[in-house]
Amino acid sequence: MKTLIPYKLEINKTFNEDDLLKGLYIAVIHATRIPPHIGIIADKQYHSLSIKGQNINTSVNALLKNSTIRKIPTLFIKIKGHMTFSDAYLNEHFITNVQQFQRVDTGVATCLSPIKLFFEETYDVPMKEINYLYDLLPALHKEGLIEHISSLFVDEKKYQLPFYTSNEINEGIDQIRSEFK
């Protein structure tokens, strides 16, 4: 079993919703919950894989409105621009990654699954050892891909990326699924 090394996120930019209208972001929704939910913002659209299924082409404004009304702790991790691909191309590519999975399901796929495919295919970041958000972010940082991090409803001074296990992910999936039955 590998040793978990705390990864301290430096929330180093004041949140400005206009920033989300250009570029590529990882959105960490319910950032203080175990496990958090993650998706991608590209070309003004939010996409993710959830228990309900494929969440494709949600406007950034709708995402922000929901997060603001419900005061959902959310991180926005800006990914450096791609040297070759446009935001529009990255947006379409991530949609195809999400569409490879029907929905989040125990032992099949998590919200991280399409994100792993995306970074391996578009940024050539090895994802074989990446199983959790707390694995992904240090890998992206090591590759120099994290430009800055901003947040909504997160205590910037005290925030620590939570550690969790695959059992906790599965329990979270089962709990949320039971709420929708």
* CA pair distance 72, 63, nearest whole angstrom: 10
pLDDT at 179: 72
Q: Residue range 77-99: average pLDDT?
A: 96
More confident residue, 7 or 3: 7
Q: State the pLDDT confidence band at 133, using cuts at 50, 70 and 90.
A: very high
Three-state DSSP class for residue 97: helix
Q: State the pLDDT confidence band at 37, using cuts at 50, 70 and 90.
A: very high
- Within 13 Å, how many C-alpha atoms sit on residue 159's CB side? 21
pLDDT at 2: 54
Radius of gyration of the chain (CA): 15
Contact 43, 90 (CB under 8 A): yes
* CA pair distance 151, 149, nearest whole angstrom: 7
Q: CA 129 → CA 29, 116, 151, 161, distances in Å?
A: 23, 10, 27, 18
Q: CA torsion angle for 90, 91, 92, 97 (degrees, to 10)?
A: 80
More confident residue, 50 or 7: 50
The pTM for the full model equals 0.90
pLDDT at 76: 97
Three-state DSSP class for residue 150: strand
Tokens encoding 107? 């032992």
Closest CA to 36 of 65, 13, 9, 2: 9
pLDDT > 60? residue 66 = yes
* CA pair distance 27, 37, nearest whole angstrom: 8
Closest CA to 149 of 21, 18, 26, 5: 26
